[in-house]
Structure 1
Amino acid sequence: MIKITHAAGHALVTPGKQSPDGYKEWQVTSEIVKLVMRELETYEGVAQKRIDNPTGKSDIPLNKRCELVNGWSTNVHIDYHLNAYGSGWNNAGGTEIYTYTTKPREAAALAEKIQTNLVKALGFHNRGVKAADFQMVRETEMTAILIEFAFMTNQNEAMKMRTPEYQKRAAKAVVNGLVSQYGLKKKPAVSSTDDVVYRVQVGAFSDIDNAKSLVEDLKAKGYPAIMV
């Protein structure tokens, strides 16, 4: 069993943390979190929890988020963000992922796998895997990464990341990285009953004439009856 926690960065009510036109970072990252969690539900041996406020109506402090993650004995934590440069539209752009400054081996390996998938899926500039002293990768006691999918101050990237198509691409890239890193296996497919035919026996006779009579009676009523 692997335990994974997810957190969309900030919240709807967090000051700033938005594109120049007012579109909030959380509006994008929350959708990606939901898509990732939904996809991971189709894999065996995965327990997961979202530790930000899923309504976006309050911004849970970082120290509290770390407490929630550590208290659940999480194996992997992923923080979901959009980057920014300045307050107006500009050309700074690309995708990058952060680990802690000590560059823990497992976190770095996971980050590289997800980064490779994200760059391929989104098509934005590859800014690479980096290390930083961010609280969510410093004070969490497990493999932890912080993803910056794109720049919300880059109009091209921001508009793309608002679309369901790019959110799905981002989520799939995250899941693919996790699958590759931890060897996750899909749950067995549930058999569909759409093509199953059920047969009902309505009588058993020692006299063949009685059997034939019932078959004819059923056919007369529209049932495709047979005698065996």
Structure 2
Amino acid sequence: MVKIVIDAGHGFNTPGKRSPDDEREWSFNNKVAQFAIAKLQLYEDVEILRVDDPIGRTDVPLTTRTNLANEWKADVYASIHHNSLNGQWGKHSGLETYTMDNPTANPKSVEIAGAIHPRVVMAMGISNRGMKRANFHVLRESAMPAFLTEGGFMDSTIDIVKLRDDSYLKAQGEAIAEGLAVYFKLRLKPISVDSPAITQRVDSDHLYQPSMQAIIKSTIDVLIRLENKQEGALSSVWREKLMQGTLTESDAIGILFMALDRGLLGEVK
């Protein structure tokens, strides 16, 4: 059983944690957390504990959060946030993922963050500010591996466009869940052929039209399956774009077509 703590950071009314248009950080964090939890619930042998206030009414003290996680003996602590530079609109942009800034910190934190960060960058499609270290309370006081994501700037005229789009917040939450699933080697629960989702898809008369996020996600899945291939399975230019979050729709389609055309997907187990 893998025990995962989800922390959607701050409360709805926490001072300063908002966009210049008064959009609350908790609202963004909460949606990403809900999407991450929904995705994680599709896997076997997973327990989830949310340590912030799930309705945002109170800003649960950080000590309370880490104490709950430690007493529960969690396997990982995932803290979800969104950034702000100075509370004024600007062209700054990007995603960051933090782990503890201490030589004695649990090295698994960096390994887990390494599975999370590039997936979030690719899901959001905004600039990559990299994996960083910091002495944040939830990273320092948690007894288990911990990471903290900053999923874009609320006061960025670039990032806010995607933060206002629930499809990107869903992609971000699912990227966090998928990174955890890959790291902990989680297995998806069996899906019944009678499930409503499958029935609806079979009965539909409309062709499936994937969104940009769906195309990027499929490309990420291809990259994961090719990670153990010999060097050169993917163009270095495409790989760099994937890691930097600058992949275009045409790039993604090109990667998928190339992988299928060369029979790479059929060879990768």
| Structure 1, gaps ≥5 residues long | 195-228
Give 2:189's match in structure 1, choosing from 187, 192, 205. Answer: 187
Determine the structure 2 residue equivalent to 1:40.
40
d(CA) in 2 for partners of 1:112, 1:127: 13
Q: What SS class does the counterpart of residue 57 from structure 1 fall into?
A: coil
Deviation, structure 1 residue 156: 2.2
Deviation, structure 1 residue 71: 1.1
Deviation, structure 1 residue 159: 2.7
d(CA) in 1 for partners of 2:195, 2:56: 40
Amino acid corresponding to residue 53 of structure 1 in structure 2: D
Deviation, structure 1 residue 88: 0.4
Determine the structure 1 residue equivalent to 2:116.
114
Determine the structure 2 residue equivalent to 1:91.
91
d(CA) in 1 for partners of 2:195, 2:90: 54
Q: What SS class does the counterpart of residue 154 from structure 1 fall into?
A: coil
Q: What SS class does the counterpart of residue 3 from structure 1 fall into?
A: strand
Deviation, structure 1 residue 162: 2.1
Structure 2 residue 167 is the aligned partner of structure 1 residue 159: no
Determine the structure 2 residue equivalent to 1:219.
none
Determine what percentage of the aligned residue pairs are the same residue: 35
Determine the structure 1 residue equivalent to 2:14.
14
d(CA) in 2 for partners of 1:3, 1:57: 25
Give the TM-score normalised by structure 2.
0.70
d(CA) in 1 for partners of 2:147, 2:176: 11
Structure 2 residue 37 is the aligned partner of structure 1 residue 26: no
The CA deviation string for residues 98-120 of structure 1, in whole angstroms up to 9 with x for no partner, is 00013532110111111110111
Q: What SS class does the counterpart of residue 19 from structure 1 fall into?
A: coil
The CA deviation string for residues 54-99 of structure 1, in whole angstroms up to 9 with x for no partner, is 1101100111111111111111110000011012011221001000
Asked which structure has the greater CA Rg, the reply is: 1
CA RMSD of aligned residues (A): 1.3
Give 1:145's match in structure 2, choosing from 144, 147, 165. Answer: 147
Amino acid corresponding to residue 107 of structure 1 in structure 2: S
The CA deviation string for residues 151-178 of structure 1, in whole angstroms up to 9 with x for no partner, is 1110221231121111111012111211
Q: Which shows bigger deviation, 182-191 or 144-153?
A: 182-191
d(CA) in 2 for partners of 1:140, 1:169: 27
Determine the structure 2 residue equivalent to 1:201.
none
Amino acid corresponding to residue 139 of structure 2 in structure 1: V
d(CA) in 2 for partners of 1:35, 1:16: 25
Amino acid corresponding to residue 2 of structure 2 in structure 1: I
How many residues were matched structurally?
194
d(CA) in 1 for partners of 2:153, 2:18: 10
Residues 1:138 and 1:22: Cα distance change in structure 2 (over 3 Å): same
Instruction: Tell me, yes or no, if the aligned pair for 2:11 and 2:57 is still in contact at 8 Å.
Output: yes
Amino acid corresponding to residue 143 of structure 2 in structure 1: E
Residues 1:22 and 1:105: Cα distance change in structure 2 (over 3 Å): same
Determine the structure 1 residue equivalent to 2:68.
68
Report 1:43-62 matches (<5 A): 43-62=43-62
Structure 2 residue 138 is the aligned partner of structure 1 residue 136: yes
Displaced runs of 4 or more, over 3 A: none
